[in-house]
């Protein structure tokens, strides 16, 4: 692996091209598939190249959540009121660096995007899963997948479930089904996909505009001329050199969640053309300890025996706070009425003890620290309050029925997985921007190549990556097709 920036090839150095198209899409994950379909529907000649042997890449590994709201058909059918404004308020509060224009477009366009997905053949079941889980165990079409009911977000925006999942049981690669439907639609529009063919660098004209890309297919190589290029080649979680350079959190006790091709090449290609990046130090990390949901009745403490997060938080938020603790040491403490076996096996059971002082000693916590924390928590929980962290009443009860037990949330002991969240700076239409905010002619990006709504683990909601990737992928495809028409009207490709 490498963090090196690919070399740019000048168009006047190109001796012939293998293809000339309107739009070249690099990568056929969720964002690339949506970009390709939209560009083709707009009448553009679209070619997709992908290094993998089939479509989907990392997107195909996802369970199939799309974070959508504002009053979708599933929300209406299951009796969950929601508006674009409430969705906007929540996402704005959950983002460390919110982009108001992107958020507004995403929330206002969420219902239309839901309907577009269904027009592609995706049929979300009109049903709701009420439990606290990482993903619906069945085919239910809707559940809470973020921190909507967690303080302080529940005081900012009216909570509503927005995790729309395709009708594939559990986490059995539901997103792959969507990719397959999009590929079928794209091919029906006359689009072409070349698998096992990777981009190796961009081609620019004398003004710095992007006019194509170099490619390689095993021992063959060449150049594709294009009026617009859309980079949708994934993040960089599986590139140790880039992880070390940008986001060290993933380098310590975290297993990268991604495919072989999540090596940041698309991002580095964008940088080579002058593209700026945003949030490259940010990552999503998680080691979910629920389900079973009764474990949420427990408390999470650090090596000092102190609580530091509301335990009912989305698993990515809890994980983010774990990494901020001294030496990233953390334990989930439960009593005999809250003990259970974590379904995903990510968090190991340590032991059980007849008394809290025994547990303190075995966990090497300061004497009296955990006892004091439990006494305060139990006193507050008995009166239905949690003034320190405002844990939701649904999961608030005294932990006073011994024996007590502990699970290890410490990275390296617990199994954490993660992926990167930073990427190229883009406008609302996916145009890649320079550091001064100017668009680079002919270059677009979406999905994990771009920095959009998903910005950190603290405020992440499951389905945000597929939701924003598909939504802004569509916008990038439409805009690229429009740029191609403009270039053609002016007399052909830029030189």
Residues 117 and 180 in one domain: no
pTM for this prediction: 0.95
Position 134 pLDDT exceeds 70: yes
pLDDT at residue 369, as a whole number: 98
User: Is 271 a domain residue?
Assistant: yes
- Mark whether 434 and 484 lie in a shared domain: yes
Domain contains 290:
no
Query: Given this model, what pLDDT does residue 252 score?
Result: 79
| Of the candidate ranges 139-148, 221-230, 252-261, 262-271, the one whose mean pLDDT is the lowest | 252-261
What is the predicted pLDDT for the residue at 248? Answer: 80
Mean pLDDT of the chain: 95
Q: Is the distance from CB of 147 to CB of 161 less than 8 angstroms?
A: no
- Rounded Cα distance, 100 and 429, in Å: 14
Q: What six digits make up the tokens of 39?
A: 């560009």
- Count Cβ atoms below 10 Å from residue 46 Cβ, excluding itself: 31
Q: pLDDT grade, residue 16 (50/70/90)?
A: confident
- Distance set, CA 249 to CA 74, 260, 281, 393, 449 (Å): 37, 20, 8, 32, 19
Looking at the domain assignment, is residue 121 inside a domain?
Answer: yes
* 221 vs 227: CA distance, rounded Å: 20
Q: What's the domain range around 158? A: 65-165
Same-domain pairing of 73 and 48:
no
In this structure, the answer to whether residues 178 and 256 fall within a common structural domain is: yes
Same domain, 347 and 255: no
Residues 78-116 have pLDDT tens digits of 999 999 999 999 999 999 999 999 999 999 999 999 999
Query: CATH no. for residue 481?
Result: 3.50.50.60
Residue 201 lies in a domain: yes
**69 and 56 both lie in a single domain:** no
Phi then psi dihedrals of residue 38, to 5 deg: -65, -40
Q: What is the CATH number of the domain that holds 361?
A: 3.90.700.10
In the listed set 145, 165, 185, which residue is the last one of a domain according to the structure?
165
Do 259 and 234 touch, CB atoms closer than 8 A?
yes
Q: For 469-488, what is each residue's pLDDT tens digit?
A: 999 999 999 999 998 777 76
Residue 2 lies inside a defined structural domain of this protein: no
Q: Identify the DSSP state of 328.
A: G
What CA–CA distances, in Å, run from 456 to 135, 278, 403?
20, 12, 37
User: Per-residue confidence at 491, pLDDT binned at 50, 70, 90?
Assistant: low
The verdict on residue 4 lying in a domain is no
Beta-carbon contacts of 108 under 8 Å, excluding residues fewer than 6 positions away, are: 70, 84, 88
Q: Contact, 75 vs 401, CB < 8 A?
A: no
| 494 within a domain of the structure (yes/no) | no
Domains in the chain, number: 3
Same domain? 84 vs 72: yes
Question: Does pLDDT of 489 surpass 80?
Answer: no
Structure confidence at residue 494 (pLDDT): 47
Same domain, 48 and 179: yes
Claim to verify: residue 54 and residue 184 sit in the same structural domain:
yes
Q: Are residues 238 and 182 in the same domain?
A: yes
- Determine, yes or no, domain membership for 291: no
Among the candidates 142, 165, 188, a domain finishes at 165
pLDDT in the model for residue 488? 62
- Is 156 in the same domain as 23? no
Q: Which residues contact 394 (CB under 8 A, 6 or more apart)?
A: 312
The yes-or-no verdict on residue 361 having pLDDT over 70 is yes
End residue of a domain, out of 102, 134, 165: 165
**Using CA atoms, how far apart are residues 461 and 258, in angstroms rounded to an integer?**
18
Quote the tokens at residue 349: 């059971």
Q: Flag whether pLDDT at 259 surpasses 80.
A: yes
Query: Is the pLDDT confidence value at 125 over 50?
Result: yes
Report the percent of the chain where pLDDT is more than 90: 89
Under the banding of pLDDT at 50, 70 and 90, the label for residue 303 is: very high
CA atoms within 13 A on the CB side of 120: 30
- C-beta of residue 282 within 8 angstroms of C-beta of residue 420: yes
Average pLDDT over residues 188-193: 97
d(C-alpha 175, C-alpha 195), whole Å: 19
| Same-domain check for residues 177 and 48 | yes
94 close to 459: Cβ distance less than 8 angstroms: yes
Q: At what angle do helices 110-119 and 464-489 cross, to 10 degrees?
A: 80
What residues are paired with 58 via a beta bridge?
none
- Per-residue pLDDT for 490 more than 70? no
Say what percent of the chain tops pLDDT 70.
Answer: 98
């Amino acid at each position: 692996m490498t963090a090196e920036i690919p070399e740019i090839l000048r168009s006047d150095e190109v001796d012939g091209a293998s293809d000339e198209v309107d739009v070249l899409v690099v990568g056929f994950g969720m964002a690339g598939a949506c970009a390709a379909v939209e560009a083709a529907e707009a009448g553009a000649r679209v070619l997709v190249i992908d290094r993998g042997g089939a479509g989907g890449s990392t997107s195909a590994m996802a369970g199939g959540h799309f974070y959508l709201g504002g009053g979708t058909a599933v929300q209406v059918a299951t009796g969950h009121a929601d508006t674009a404004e409430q969705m906007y308020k929540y996402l704005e509060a959950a983002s460390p660096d919110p982009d108001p224009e992107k958020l507004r477009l995403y929330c206002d366009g969420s219902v239309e995007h839901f309907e577009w997905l269904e027009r592609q053949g995706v049929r979300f079941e009109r049903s709701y899963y009420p439990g606290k889980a990482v993903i619906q165990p069945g085919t239910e079409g809707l559940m809470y997948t973020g921190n909507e009911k967690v303080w302080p977000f529940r005081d900012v925006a009216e909570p509503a479930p927005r995790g729309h999942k395709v009708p594939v049981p559990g986490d059995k690669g539901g997103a792959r089904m969507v990719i397959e439907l999009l590929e079928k639609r794209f091919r029906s529009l006359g689009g072409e996909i070349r698998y096992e063919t990777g981009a190796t660098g961009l081609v620019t004209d004398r003004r710095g505009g992007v006019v194509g890309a170099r490619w390689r297919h095993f021992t063959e190589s060449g150049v594709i001329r294009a009026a617009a290029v859309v980079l949708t080649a994934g993040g960089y979680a599986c590139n140790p050199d880039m992880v070390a350079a940008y986001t060290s959190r993933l380098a310590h006790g975290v297993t990268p969640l991604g495919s072989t091709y999540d090596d940041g090449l698309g991002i580095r290609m964008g940088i080579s053309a002058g593209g700026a990046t945003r949030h490259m130090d940010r990552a999503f990390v998680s080691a979910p300890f629920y389900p079973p949901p009764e474990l949420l009745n427990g408390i999470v403490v650090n090596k000092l025996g102190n609580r530091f997060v509301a335990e009912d938080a989305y698993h990515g938020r809890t994980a983010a706070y774990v990494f901020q603790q001294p030496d990233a040491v953390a334990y989930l403490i439960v009593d005999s009425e809250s003990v259970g076996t974590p379904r995903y096996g990510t968090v190991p059971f340590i032991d059980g003890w007849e008394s809290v002082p025994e547990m303190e000693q075995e966990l090497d916590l300061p004497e009296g620290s955990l006892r004091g924390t439990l006494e305060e928590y139990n006193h507050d929980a008995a009166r239905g309050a949690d003034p320190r962290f405002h844990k939701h009443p649904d999961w608030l009860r005294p932990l006073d029925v011994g024996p007590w037990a502990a699970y290890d949330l410490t990275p390296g002991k617990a199994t954490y997985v993660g992926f990167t969240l930073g990427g190229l700076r883009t406008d609302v239409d996916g145009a890649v921007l320079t550091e001064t905010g100017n668009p680079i002619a002919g270059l677009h990006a979406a999905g994990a190549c771009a920095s959009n709504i998903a910005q950190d683990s603290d405020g992440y909601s499951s389905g945000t990556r597929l939701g924003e990737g598909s939504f802004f992928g569509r916008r990038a495809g439409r805009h690229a097709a429009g740029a191609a028409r403009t270039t053609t009207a002016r007399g052909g490709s830029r030189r």
